[in-house]
Amino acid sequence: MSTKIKPKGLLFTGILIGAVLLMSFIITPGRVTVYLAGDSTMAIKQPKAFPETGWGMPFSLLFDSTVTVDNRAQNGRSTKTFISEGLWDGIVSSLHEGDYVFIQFGHNDEVPTKKSYINEQGYRDNLETFIRETRDKKAIPVLLTPVARRKFDTTGTVVGTHEVYSAIVRKLADEQKVPLIDLDRESQALFQKLGPEESKKLFNYLAPGESINYPNGQADNTHFSKLGARKIAGIVLNGIRLLKLELARHIALSNLKPVDEK
């Protein structure tokens, strides 16, 4: 015996299916892109640089499938050259509402002997441009002070090397109400905890013959090893949580182990 569905029943069924599909669309989280704008300490490294690792590399693995990390950082860049080479425009043109831009410069801005150098006012002006143009797209800027270099005095105390430019970032973040991750202070604290010798493991320190890419060895106090990059990425991740950014909801807990690995 067949059962006929009356027209009213068909209409109700259609409305019900439509409502379910609409609700599924509404509650499905949208995709978010996190853009990384910065220098070599953050950048993706070529195989010829291995084991040197930018902290943005492990950072990109720490979120669920709704988040894409687009690392636009480049070696040797400052706020000035990031703009002049069109790297910043490339980010702005790709931004959508709800995206994030993590901005970390200073290493190359602050050195007068480099072509990338820009004075303190210029550095601040460029950061203000990054903030304004990100917000114009209804995206979210996040400022990071430049990550510390490994430098200790004769007593084994960490010495800051970004004091002036980090202070500019802190002040600007406060004035513009921009989320701030104080990577300079946090990384200094990490290096101090480890001490002069153990902290070398976080950097691209290699003995002669240890790496085919550095046959004569390497003593680099600026760029990170794989372990160092994971540790710095962990600091940034913790900053996201402490700031209570919406992005924190998309941290993939199963991916946290490599960050804490010793």
Res 28 pLDDT > 70: no
Residue-level pLDDT at 219: 93
Query: Residues 40, 116, 199, 225: which is the catalytic one?
Result: 40
Smallest Cα–Cα separation from 67: which of 226, 245, 232? 245
Query: Residues 198, 210, 246, 261: which is the catalytic one?
Result: 210
pLDDT tens digits, one per residue of 29-70: 579 999 999 999 999 999 999 999 999 999 999 999 999 999
Q: Is 225 a catalytic residue?
A: no
| Paired sense of beta strands 203-206 and 218-224, if any | antiparallel
Q: How confident is the model at residue 253 (pLDDT cuts 50, 70, 90)?
A: low
pTM of the entire structure?
Answer: 0.85
CA angle 52, 55, 60 (to 5 degrees): 120
Domain range annotation of the chain: 31-260
Instruction: Annotate 93-122 with b (16+ C-beta within 10 A) or e (fewer).
Output: eebeeebbbbbbbbbbbbeeeeebbbeeee
Q: Is 78 a catalytic residue?
A: no
Residue-level pLDDT at 30: 73
Q: Is 120 a catalytic residue?
A: no
pLDDT tens digits, one per residue of 202-226: 999 999 989 999 999 999 999 999 9
Query: Residues 52, 107, 166, 223: which is the catalytic one?
Result: 223
Return the C-alpha torsion angle 83, 85, 89, 90, nearest 10: -140
In terms of residues, how long is the chain?
262
CATH of 31-260, one of 3.40.50.2000, 3.40.50.1110, 3.30.70.20, 3.10.105.10: 3.40.50.1110
Res 19 pLDDT > 60: no
pLDDT tens digits, one per residue of 151-197: 999 999 999 999 999 999 999 999 999 999 999 999 999 999 999 99
pLDDT tens digits, one per residue of 80-101: 999 999 999 999 999 999 999 9
